Amino acid sequence: MSIIMSKLKLSGKELRAIGYPEGPVISVAMNVMQKNYKHRTKEEVMEILKSVLVSPLEYKNDAVLALIAEQLLPRAIIERTEISLNNSGIQFNIFGQEHIEEGAMHQMYTATKLPIAVAGALMPDAHNGYGLPIGGVLATKNAVIPYGVGVDIGCRMCLSIFDIDPKELVQKENYFARELNEATLFGSGAQFDIASDNEVMENELFYELPLLKSLHGRAWKQLGSSGSGNHFVEFGAVEISGRDEILCIDAGNYLGLLSHSGSRGLGANIANHYTKIAISKRRLPKDAQNLAWLTLDEEEGMEYWLAMNLAGEYASACHHIIHKKIAKQLGRRPMKMVENHHNFAWKEKWNGMEVIVHRKGATPAGKNILGIIPGSMTADGFIVKGKGEQASINSAAHGAGRKMSRSKAIQSVTDKEFKDELKKFGVKLLGGGIDESPFAYKDIEAVMQSQKALVETIGKFTPKIVKMDGAKHKSWKNGKNNTVEGE
């Protein structure tokens, strides 16, 4: 039975449980929701609050939720001397400019004016973020930008290819759907009662850095779980058109297991903690403050670098646990696993010098490096091999890229349109919602066409059974597609 918001009281404990930090934001959030969402159910309100927490920038201009978002965005400490941006930014290459919104272009222009910037590129799936735009690539000299990496550190793709006829996904649909439901938990606060075992949790940094020590227990309980938003685990059909010397799989059709998720609460806390430190140390103009950096000569900069790499290892472990569980149930070992980060920073060589390359929503595409670039829940994903193109700083798009914000998608797509689209492509959806519908994304074929110089396509992945977060306020209702909530 629904509870009317006017009779509902949110507690600070409940908000902290879904990840809200201590401070004024808790009372602000409680007051805003009590006043403006009194006719929503408690479940709906909590899911909205989670969405604001995960992506506060998306709500910065919302008539109501901006009050909460502003409390979550980092602020510059005013007493330090402001650092000036360069009058003109370094030149950077843009791929698929016709697909990229003006806001993302502006963010990239701002980033290239940083005094630490060495090289930059913008991928065809780019859209607004905070700090770097999503789809932005920036190389810097001896400096790392926490929001140039992003909040979900080490967010990554992982594809297992099995020598199983993909027709079984239709013939034994319920079996494969059950395996997805049982393999992981979804949602921003999802935790297991019994934690998985993995050597990443024994990393000495968990015992040496106070921040990581405080996060260790929760991180262990979230190990092997998946996030909310655009994160997923799905079965699909893999088509290999010809044998590639790097992939080493014969032409044919196979069953694929594809997952997309990151470092959960661990990465988000690392990102926010060190961004606040960076902003306190380097006061930048307002439109550039989220690009504050730490140098690798500073204690805090080295701490962030170590913590970021640990978060990347943790994200990888989450995927491997999920894939291992499902492979065990299938009774098969994968023929090949293709995986890559896309929210990370790497030390690389650029024109003979060592630089830090930030890829925020961008796939590494060095010479012969394998990667997977997904489309949407109904559009093909692509198994690719990098061409090592210097113009893109050895990078490519990380997906189709959003063309609608979450709120716009919810407002403009009907349940029927969403359901009809899934039926048209023969996709079974477990959880998920209109905010992640195919209509919210750019055309992946156009994105791939714009980066033919960056990657070679050596295979395709076609989604068939898709598992995502089952947030009630975002779900469409259908007797055959029940939501299974991660919370």
Q: With 80 as the cut, is the pLDDT of residue 484 above it?
A: no
Using 50, 70 and 90 to split pLDDT, how confident is the model at 329? Answer: very high
What pLDDT, in 10s, does the model give residues 299-328? 999 999 999 999 999 999 999 999 999 999
pLDDT surpasses 60 at 251? yes
pLDDT (tens digit per residue) in 378-390: 999 999 999 999 9
pLDDT for 77 equals 40
CATH topology of domain 153-265+303-335+363-474: tRNA-splicing ligase RtcB (3.90.1860)
Is pLDDT of 330 > 60? yes
| 476 vs 262, higher pLDDT | 262
Whether residue 60 has pLDDT greater than 60: yes
d(CA 152, CA 91) in angstroms, rounded, equals 28
pLDDT at 472 over 80: no
Q: What is the Cα–Cα distance from 258 to 234, expressed in whole angstroms?
A: 5
What integer pLDDT is reported at residue 7 of this predicted model? 64
Q: What is the reported pLDDT for 466? A: 97
- Give the residue extent of every domain in the chain: 5-72, 153-265+303-335+363-474
260 φ, ψ to 5°?
-140, 115
Look at 42-46, 338-342, 402-406, 482-486 and tell me which has the smallest mean pLDDT.
482-486
Report the C-alpha gap between 449 and 180 in whole angstroms: 32
User: H/E/C letters for each residue in 178-229?
Assistant: HHHHHHCCECCCCCCCCCCCCHHHHCCHHHHCHHHHHHHHHHHHHCCCECCC
423: CB partners within 8 A, 6+ apart? none
Of the segments 59-63, 90-94, 471-475, which one has the largest average pLDDT value? Answer: 90-94
pLDDT in tens, 433-461: 899 999 999 999 999 999 999 999 999 99
pLDDT score of 316: 97
Please state, as a whole number, how many other Cβ atoms lie within 10 Å of the Cβ of residue 176.
23
Q: Which two tokens stand for residue 452?
A: 């033919």
What share of the chain in percent tops pLDDT 90? 74
Mean pLDDT of the chain: 90
